[in-house]
Amino acid sequence: MPAFSVLEPAVDPNNRISFLLDWQLTMKCNLDCSYCLVGIDGGHDNSTQHPDKDGCTQALEFMFKYVDQYMETKPRGIRYVILNVYGGESLHHPDIVEILEQIRPFYKQYQDRWHLTVTTTTNAIITNKKLNAIIPYIDEFTVSYHAESTNAKQKQQFRDNLLTIRDSGKRLKCIVMMHHDKHLFQEAQDFLSWADNNHIKYLAKQIDGSVADAFSKQQITWFNSTYQNKTYGRYQPIDMNNSKSLKISDVGRACCGGRQTCQDQNYKERQFYVIDNRFTDWYCSVDQFFLFVKQVNGLVYVNKDCKMRFDGSVGPIGSLSDTDSILNDLRERLTVSKPVIQCKRARCHCGLCAPKAQDLDTYKSIMQKYQKVTQ
């Protein structure tokens, strides 16, 4: 278990805590990375079809109705929502421009109640013409660099597209997938230098859940040096000496979005990398900051990685075929039953930044700052 008993996001005006609507628009992808699982429960599945536009429209309406209920429970200062459109590779959906065009009109009725940021997580391997058609509808691009599965032409296309996004004035962050293969690791390091030289913000990311994160001691030393430069105050280095595993994802991890965290309510010290991400039986607010919609099969989850439910089981909270039931259940939870998720997962990945505590009373105490005071 962790050496701490409370984990919260650090206060950071440049990376404020928000409600993340993760919308997996399609399972199809133009890359086939070994560390991205194939299949309906994986990261991509090219045997599926792109979901139809009408179904996507209905999902968009549902997500805004869902998050609007949560925003009613929060202080005005943290009523921020991020709609993350991703896949597979969402920008390869044939109707992607038409789908993105609908977002702002749907949001208009909520604009006085909460702030929306539209982002896309993409490998950016698309034509420059299509990219320029998409840019007006996206506030922030999170692009991922994959040294393993891209050829020289695609790597150049990737760089060119990053420069196009940068020059458009849209916010841009590049997630660089660090592979354990020494040649690919070096290639990723070279790309980081290129990003630095071109003033592109990046995050060097370990790969979870695969043999691809069995890094060498030299590579772990590099991670420690890099993460030391990315944090404030105290930093606990990755230490594999006491681990039975060769995977650093079994030792700890950084937040997917690069958010810093605070431990045991010590808000003066920030951690970029969380040592020991085992929160089994902890009380977690992941439901109050995440929703995951899997468009290809219509299933709706609290979070894309943990998929925890309030009864302690793992699975969907409903389906897009019956969104009224999901919305009614949410209304009941927020106004009457008010249950708390108690994690049953062995490891925390996405959802690391959601406030959590080992003790229920402590959890309720820290959550007061994230909930609107009622008279």
CATH label of the domain that carries residue 78: 3.20.20.70
CB 373 within 8 Å of CB 336? no
Asked whether residue 375 carries a pLDDT value surpassing 50, the answer given is no
At 210, the pLDDT band (50, 70, 90 cuts) reads low
Mean pLDDT of the chain: 91
Closest CA to 252 of 177, 345, 349, 343: 349
Which CB contacts under 8 angstroms, 24+ apart, belong to 305-309? Answer: 305/348, 305/349, 305/350, 305/351, 306/343, 306/345, 306/348, 306/349, 306/350, 306/351, 308/284, 308/341, 308/343, 308/344, 308/345, 309/341
| Domain membership of residue 78 as a residue range | 17-241+285-322
The pLDDT of residue 231 is 63
* Strand 252-254, strand 273-275: pairing: antiparallel
Please indicate whether residue 236 or residue 125 has the higher confidence score (pLDDT). 125
Residue 216 backbone phi and psi in degrees, to 5: -75, 165
In a domain, 62, yes or no: yes
Domain count, the chain: 1
Q: Mind listing the pLDDT tens digit for each residue in 246-300?
A: 567 778 888 888 888 999 999 988 888 888 999 999 999 999 999 999 999 999 9
In a domain, 255, yes or no: no
In a domain, 151, yes or no: yes
In a domain, 191, yes or no: yes
In a domain, 12, yes or no: no
Could you report how far apart the first and last alpha carbons of the chain are, in Å?
Answer: 38
Asked whether residue 236 carries a pLDDT value surpassing 80, the answer given is no
In a domain, 107, yes or no: yes
In a domain, 216, yes or no: yes
Q: Mind listing the pLDDT tens digit for each residue in 329-360?
A: 999 999 999 999 999 999 998 899 999 999 99
In a domain, 136, yes or no: yes
The pLDDT of residue 254 is 85
| DSSP three-state, residue 24 | strand
Tell me the mean pLDDT in the region 162-190: 95
Question: What is the rounded distance in angstroms from the CA atom of residue 175 to the CA atom of residue 192?
Answer: 10
Q: Which helix (H) or strand (E) holds 59?
A: helix 53-71
The pLDDT of residue 243 is 60
Asked whether residue 372 carries a pLDDT value surpassing 90, the answer given is no
The pLDDT of residue 251 is 80
Residue located via tokens 């920030």: 270
| DSSP three-state, residue 146 | coil
Report, in this order, helix, strand and coil percent for the chain, each rounded to 5: 35, 20, 45
Among 101-115, 184-198, 221-235, 236-250, the range scoring the smallest mean pLDDT is 236-250
Tell me the mean pLDDT in the region 310-318: 96
